[in-house]
């Protein structure tokens, strides 16, 4: 059986607001899982139900073959790191980390050993005598991490722990969290609305939307094999572009026809298109980096209206029939208002416009 299992978990507020709807998931020991989704999708509520900070309306949460529903938070063997650090300002860093160990009535010698060990892992050994007011935001977050891992929890929960840090520090802390996870081989759940955090940290990502799981998969699966249009729009910076096309078959070849181009489709959904979509409109999804410029097999011409330099690459803003779309390119010397010839690679996705689900 899985290390942590969710069985038909629901959370309903005031008998009418469904914050989490029929949540089912299995997590293996040692996995790093990210709950990813926009504000209000239910990811933090789910995390708080695991921690015991929110009651479960129905369903079950099973940790190490035992239900934790009804257990007090302190009896669940879970550590949680919050967005606001939640370190005690009147205690030194040493005492912040040692506090939970003292509650466990460990000996002074054992506490000192554990505090020094986790301080080394979290890179705060030089700050043990300082107070939180003497630390930067990143250092305080490291204190929160050290305090959480000191008690050797069964489960490590993180609720948007990096969102209060500046961009550079966020990236550095991501690396630290991943390193700590590898060192401890801990089972971790990380809640975020930042796709770059989820993609860089997680073994698997659980994408949530309006209280439901949209897709569970590895970062590559979520990005390159999105199950729904919502995920294709939500994941990626810039996100996927969408073009409405009509499915036709010409001389045995599948052609997707747009008002401004004809795209010969050679992907894995050929049989499904032939059996159920001929003559119908579908959505062609193309990620910005899967758009080619000035190559031999171009589909149409347009103008690079606005160019956003990104250092190693550029983001080109263009339009087709007054519909904007974006291209990621390494042609860093391209000038604004240049006419460009645009094509697509074969790594496109197709979606049903009614269900918004992937056509496979």
pLDDT profile of the chain (360 residues), mean per 10? 96 94 97 96 97 97 96 94 85 94 91 94 93 91 90 93 85 89 93 94 97 98 97 96 97 95 95 96 98 93 97 97 96 96 96 97
pLDDT of 100: 87
- At 73, list the tokens: 């938070």
Q: What are the residues whose beta carbons fall under 8 Å from the beta carbon of 112, sequence distance 6 or more? A: none
Helix (H, G, I), strand (E, B) or coil at 248: strand
pLDDT of 82: 85
Please give the Cα distance from 206 to 107 (Å, whole number).
Answer: 40
- Inter-axis angle of helices 137-150 and 167-184, nearest 10: 20
Q: Do domains 4-234 and 241-351 have the same CATH topology?
A: no
Record: fold of 241-351? OB fold (Dihydrolipoamide Acetyltransferase, E2P) (2.40.50)
Dihedral sign, Cα of residue 328, residue 334, residue 335, residue 338: negative
pLDDT of 247: 98
Please give the Cα distance from 163 to 250 (Å, whole number).
Answer: 52
pLDDT of 246: 98
275 burial via Cβ count (<10 Å: 0-12, 13-18, 19+): exposed
pLDDT of 278: 97
- pTM for the full predicted model: 0.92
- At 324, list the tokens: 């904007």
Domain 4-234 has CATH 3.40.50.300: yes
E strand map for 132-270: 155-159, 188-192, 204-209, 212-217, 241-250, 253-257, 262-265
- At 45, list the tokens: 């509520």
Backbone angles phi, psi at 270, to 5 degrees: -55, -45
Please give the Cα distance from 100 to 80 (Å, whole number).
Answer: 12
pLDDT of 248: 98
Domain boundaries, the chain: 4-234, 241-351
pLDDT of 165: 83
């Amino acid at each position: 059986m899985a290390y942590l299992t969710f069985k038909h978990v629901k959370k309903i507020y005031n008998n009418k607001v469904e914050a989490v709807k029929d949540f089912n998931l299995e997590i293996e020991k040692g996995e790093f899982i990210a709950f990813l989704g926009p504000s209000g999708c239910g990811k933090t509520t789910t995390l708080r139900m695991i921690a015991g900070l929110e009651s479960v309306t129905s369903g079950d949460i099973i940790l190490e073959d035992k239900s934790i529903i009804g257990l007090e938070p302190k009896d669940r063997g879970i550590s949680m790191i919050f967005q606001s650090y939640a370190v005690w300002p009147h205690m030194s860093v040493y005492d912040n980390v040692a506090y939970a160990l003292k509650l466990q009535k460990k000996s002074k010698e054992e506490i000192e050993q554990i505090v020094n060990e986790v301080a080394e892992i979290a890179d705060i050994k030089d700050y043990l005598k300082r107070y939180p007011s003497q630390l930067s935001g990143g250092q305080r977050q490291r204190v929160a991490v050290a305090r959480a891992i000191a008690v050797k929890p069964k489960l490590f929960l993180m609720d948007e722990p990096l969102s209060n840090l500046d961009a550079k520090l966020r990236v550095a802390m991501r690396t630290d969290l991943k390193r700590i996870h590898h060192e401890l081989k801990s089972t971790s759940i990380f809640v975020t609305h930042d796709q770059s955090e989820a993609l860089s940290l997680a073994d698997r990502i659980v994408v949530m939307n309006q209280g439901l799981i949209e897709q569970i998969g590895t970062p590559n699966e979520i990005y390159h094999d999105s199950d729904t249009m919502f995920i294709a729009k939500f994941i990626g910076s810039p996100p996927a572009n969408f073009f409405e096309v009509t499915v036709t078959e010409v001389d045995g070849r599948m052609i997707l026809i747009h008002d401004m181009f004809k795209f010969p489709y050679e992907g894995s959904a050929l049989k499904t298109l032939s059996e159920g979509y001929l003559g119908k409109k579908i959505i062609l999804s193309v990620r910005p980096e899967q758009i080619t410029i000035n190559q031999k097999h171009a589909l149409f011409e347009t103008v690079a209206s606005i160019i956003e330099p990104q250092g190693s690459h550029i983001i080109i803003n263009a339009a087709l029939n007054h519909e904007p779309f974006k291209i990621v390119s390494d042609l860093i010397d391209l000038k604004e208002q240049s006419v460009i010839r645009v094509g697509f690679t074969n790594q496109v996705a197709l979606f049903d416009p009614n269900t918004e689900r992937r056509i496979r």
